């Protein structure tokens, strides 16, 4: 059942919507992203996953979020709370969000400024991923780093060779952030 | 499918009230013999907005399996990929613009060519989902397959183009149906107050804003502007039934407002309860806050402890591993441990001080309570002392009065005995000389007035007068 568009209206002075301008399309795309993020927020609030949480940042812009990951038990990060920031592009979910660790973290796949080396946030991103799956992936990455493509070579080496020193380095680097 | 008596879909979208348009003149599609044509579809409307399926609200929970993995809403015109995954047509189209693989399992898909029809069973499930009409003001709920028909043909709140010849602004269909022809955005004069009002809003102006239109309260016969009537009925009218101010505390009084006012003025007994409840609620809130605060403090303390323990352990292990290395690294770790210790001690102190603080607060409260108790005891003693003093004063006075009464009593008895004496003496005198008293009658008759006035003055002369005069005057009376 195709909807009858008002573009068929031939009356002079009618709304000219035959040609959508680029700006209009952009706005529509942005709205789609916001709509999807609203649905995700709803789902995160009604059925939260254990150990991860996310919420839009305080300024009311739905395209930037703050998230936390609890360090999983049995890893050097157990008991730590790690804070992250999410920046969503206008064409989310067709493009991946930019995710950064705001808490200083010592890990083979994260560098000292919090950048993350994870394929699903780069070329392996698909529109079916969402905030919760990204957070859960990062949480499992904490316990099983990918040491084949490290951002922090020293950490990758220590992970295999000296787990106790690795833990020490993790604790030295860790710093609790106050909420902002 | 459109119902039999409604115009075709296409007809809905053609231009309506544009005289110069090449389209046929705006002849209303009247269907005189059909009853359903009265309510709607008499005219061709131009729709301003399009039904946005992604924005509609679903009633209740929707099964997860019916959600598109890309937009996370129930599928809208779904298709299935060769790998068996289902998406909204629009979502998969756009996803394939950036990468040509399935978003779920990354199998290769060619746009449009590889799409399969979605199983009908899924479409049926989707059609049965209950949705709410997205129009503001409309509370209609229906299965999703019927929403389009409702939105286009029945819903009174769908936005359509204004009926004015050159106006393209939106109005709801309900307004459009009321007055065909003429722009609904033209300003007209209100015939009651003379204000300029948009003709579309005339009805709501009459009901809500117009101060020129008066109405009479059906209960108290008071006359007032129409918009004030609702407030009057709800808040002021003395003849309308209303509950007592304290009904939330349990007062059952529900009668005419004037009687309720009287009842409140006389003092509703539930007022005390209400105030008490309020007080209790406040207290509870404060208590909750305190509990939360304590919990927070405890949590912080525990965290600090844990961190300190972890750090100590880390240092210990670092120390152990560095033992075989050169002295400098050992010193470095030592100094690190030293620098870490004071800070962790400081942390512990802070944690301890929170507990101390709570304890100190507790002690302070207790001592204050003790002081209050002492003061109340003092007050009690002082009060009883004052009362005793007053009582002593009164008892003095009572004693004085008692003594006076005794004196009066004495006087009275003395007088009584005197009278008894004089009576017996007069009886003797009467026997002795009745003739003498008759002779002296004229002179003693002039005397009684003075003897009455001075008879109680206890002077010797007067006594003598009364001795003689009084019985005589009694006799004369």
What is the DSSP annotation of B243-267?
E-TTGGGT---EEEHHHHHHHHHHH
- Residues A17-44 have a mean pLDDT of 74
- How far is residue A65 from each of residues A52, B27, B185, B407, B445, measured CA to CA in Å? 13, 55, 43, 103, 126
Dihedral (CA of B406, B408, B414, B420) sign: negative
B20, B21, B48: residue with CB nearest A6: B48
CB pair distance less than 8 Å for B91 and A39: no
CA distance A28 to B115: 25
In a domain, A12, yes or no: yes
Dihedral (CA of B274, B278, B281, B283) sign: negative
- Rounded to the nearest angstrom, the minimum Cα separation between B288 and chain A is 23
Through-space distance between the first and last CA atoms of chain B, rounded to whole angstroms = 126
Q: Which CATH number belongs to the domain containing residue A53 in this structure?
A: 3.10.110.10
Contacts of B20 in chain A (CB under 8 A): 12
Q: What angle do CA B467, B468, B472 make, to 5 degrees?
A: 115
CB pair distance less than 8 Å for A127 and B13: no
- Rounded to the nearest angstrom, the minimum Cα separation between B58 and chain A is 12
Q: Residues B270, B246: contact at Cβ < 8 Å?
A: yes
Interface of B with A in 233-252 (CB under 8 A): none
Through-space distance between the first and last CA atoms of chain A, rounded to whole angstroms = 49
- Confirm or reject contact between A171 and chain B (CB < 8 A): yes
pLDDT (tens place) for every residue of chain B, 477 residues total: 444 443 343 333 333 333 333 333 343 443 344 333 334 444 567 777 778 888 888 888 888 889 999 988 899 999 999 999 999 999 999 899 888 899 999 899 888 888 989 899 999 999 999 999 988 888 889 999 999 888 888 888 888 877 776 777 777 777 777 665 667 777 777 777 777 777 777 777 777 777 777 778 888 888 887 777 878 888 888 888 888 888 887 888 888 888 888 888 888 888 888 888 899 999 999 999 999 999 999 999 999 999 999 888 888 877 665 555 545 544 444 444 444 444 444 444 445 577 888 889 999 999 999 999 999 999 999 999 999 998 998 999 999 999 999 999 999 999 999 999 988 888 887 777 665 555 555 444 444 444 444 444 444 444 444 444 444 444 444
In a domain, A31, yes or no: yes
CB pair distance less than 8 Å for B317 and A168: yes
- How far is residue B248 from each of residues B252, B253, B281, B283, B397, measured CA to CA in Å? 9, 11, 14, 19, 55
Contacts of B70 in chain A (CB under 8 A): 93, 127-128
Q: What pLDDT is attached to residue B320?
A: 60
- Average pLDDT for chain A: 82
Q: How many domains does chain A have?
A: 1
CB pair distance less than 8 Å for A126 and B103: yes
List the single residue in A with minimal CA-CA distance to B19: A11
Q: Which residues contact B199 (CB under 8 A, 6 or more apart)?
A: B179, B182, B183, B184, B185, B186, B187, B188
Q: Residues A135, A49: contact at Cβ < 8 Å?
A: yes
Structural domain harbouring A158: 3-173
Q: What pLDDT is attached to residue B79?
A: 92
Q: What pLDDT is attached to residue A132?
A: 92
Q: What pLDDT is attached to residue B436?
A: 57
Contacts of A36 in chain B (CB under 8 A): 71-72
B116-117 vs B86-88, strand pairing mode? unpaired
Q: What pLDDT is attached to residue B60?
A: 84
In a domain, A100, yes or no: yes
CA distance B88 to B255: 60
Q: Is the ipTM of this complex over 0.85?
A: no
pLDDT per position as a tens digit, A138-178: 999 999 998 888 888 889 988 988 888 999 889 888 887 76
Q: What pLDDT is attached to residue A135?
A: 94
CB pair distance less than 8 Å for B71 and A95: no
Q: Residues B69, A130: contact at Cβ < 8 Å?
A: no
pTM for the whole structure: 0.49
Q: What pLDDT is attached to residue B6?
A: 39
Query: By C-alpha distance, which of B65, B123, B68, B125 is closest to B91?
Result: B68
- How far is residue B242 from each of residues A17, B64, B216, B234, B271, measured CA to CA in Å? 56, 49, 20, 8, 17
In a domain, A138, yes or no: yes
Q: Residues B19, B162: contact at Cβ < 8 Å?
A: no
In a domain, A134, yes or no: yes
B344 φ/ψ angles, rounded to the nearest 5 degrees: -70, -35
**Phi-psi region for residue A3, left (φ > 0), alpha (ψ -120 to 50) or beta?**
beta
Q: What pLDDT is attached to residue B233?
A: 80
Contacts of A12 in chain B (CB under 8 A): 18, 20-21
CB pair distance less than 8 Å for B13 and A6: yes
- Confirm or reject contact between B313 and chain A (CB < 8 A): no
Q: Which residues contact B43 (CB under 8 A, 6 or more apart)?
A: B16, B26, B28, B29, B176, B177, B180
- How far is residue B132 from each of residues B51, B174, B186, B216, B411, measured CA to CA in Å? 12, 19, 33, 40, 106
Q: What pLDDT is attached to residue B346?
A: 42
Token pair listed for B441:
């009658």
Query: By C-alpha distance, which of B143, B94, B85, B153 is closest to B119?
Result: B85
In a domain, A180, yes or no: no
In a domain, A178, yes or no: no
In a domain, A69, yes or no: yes
Q: What pLDDT is attached to residue A1?
A: 43
């Amino acid at each position: 059942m195709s909807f009858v568009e008002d573009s068929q209206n031939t009356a002079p002075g009618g709304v000219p919507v035959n040609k959508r301008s680029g700006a209009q399309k952009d706005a529509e795309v942005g709205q789609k992203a916001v709509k999807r993020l609203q649905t995700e927020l709803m789902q995160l609030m009604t059925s939260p996953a254990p150990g991860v949480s996310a919420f839009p940042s305080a300024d009311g812009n739905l395209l930037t979020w703050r998230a936390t990951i609890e360090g999983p038990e049995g890893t050097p990060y157990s008991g730590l709370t790690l804070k992250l920031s999410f920046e969503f592009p206008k064409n989310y979910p067709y493009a991946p969000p930019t995710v950064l660790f705001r808490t200083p973290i010592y890990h083979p796949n994260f560098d000292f400024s919090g950048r993350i080396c994870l394929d699903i946030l780069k070329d392996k991103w698909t529109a079916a991923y969402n905030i919760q799956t990204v957070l859960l992936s990062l949480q499992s990455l904490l316990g099983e780093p990918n040491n084949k493509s490290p951002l922090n070579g020293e950490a990758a080496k220590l992970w295999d060779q000296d787990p106790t020193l690795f833990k020490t380095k993790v604790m030295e680097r860790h710093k609790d952030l106050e909420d902002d | 499918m459109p119902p039999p008596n409604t115009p075709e879909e296409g007809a809905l979208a053609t231009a309506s009230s544009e005289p110069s348009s090449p389209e046929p003149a705006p002849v209303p599609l009247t269907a005189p013999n059909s009853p359903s044509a009265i309510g709607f579809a008499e005219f061709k409307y131009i729709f301003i907005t399009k039904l946005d399926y992604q924005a509609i609200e679903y009633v209740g929970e929707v099964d997860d399996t019916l959600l598109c993995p890309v937009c996370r809403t129930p599928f809208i015109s779904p298709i299935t990929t060769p790998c068996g995954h289902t998406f909204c047509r629009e979502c998969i189209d756009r996803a394939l613009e950036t990468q040509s693989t399935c978003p779920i399992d990354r199998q290769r898909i060619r746009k449009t060519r590889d799409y399969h029809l979605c199983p009908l069973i899924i479409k049926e499930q989707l059609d049965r989902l209950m949705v709410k009409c997205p129009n503001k003001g409309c509370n209609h709920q229906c299965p999703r397959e019927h929403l389009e028909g409702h939105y286009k043909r029945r819903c009174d709140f769908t936005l359509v183009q204004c009926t004015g010849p050159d106006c393209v602004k939106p109005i709801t269909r309900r307004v459009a149906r009321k007055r065909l022809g003429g722009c609904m955005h033209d300003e007209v004069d209100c015939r009651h107050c003379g204000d300029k009002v948009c003709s579309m809003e005339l009805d709501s102006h009459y009901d809500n804003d117009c101060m020129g239109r008066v109405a009479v309260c059906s209960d108290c016969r008071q006359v007032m502007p129409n918009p004030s009537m609702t407030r009057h009925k709800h808040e002021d009218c003395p003849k309308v039934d209303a509950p007592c101010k304290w009904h939330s505390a349990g007062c059952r009084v529900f009668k005419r407002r004037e009687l309720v006012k009287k009842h409140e003025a006389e003092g509703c007994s539930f007022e005390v309860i209400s105030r008490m409840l309020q007080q209790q609620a406040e207290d509870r809130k404060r208590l909750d806050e305190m509990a939360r605060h304590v919990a927070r403090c405890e949590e912080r303390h525990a965290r600090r402890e844990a961190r300190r323990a972890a750090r100590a352990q880390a240092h210990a292990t670092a120390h152990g591993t560095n033992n075989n290395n050169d002295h400098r690294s050992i010193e470095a770790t030592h100094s690190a441990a030293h620098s870490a210790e004071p800070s962790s001690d400081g942390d512990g102190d802070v944690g301890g001080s929170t507990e101390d603080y709570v304890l100190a607060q507790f002690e302070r409260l207790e001592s204050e309570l003790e002081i209050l108790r002492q003061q109340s005891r003092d007050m009690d003693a002082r009060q009883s002392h004052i009362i005793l003093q007053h009582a002593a004063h009164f008892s003095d006075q009572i004693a004085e009065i008692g003594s006076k009464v005794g004196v009066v009593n004495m006087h009275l008895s003395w007088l009584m005995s005197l009278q008894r004496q004089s009576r017996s003496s007069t009886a003797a005198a009467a026997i002795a000389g009745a003739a003498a008293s008759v002779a002296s009658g004229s002179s003693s008759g002039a005397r009684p007035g003075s003897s009455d006035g001075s008879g109680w003055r206890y002077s010797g002369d007067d006594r003598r007068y009364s001795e003689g005069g009084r019985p005589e005057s009694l006799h004369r009376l």
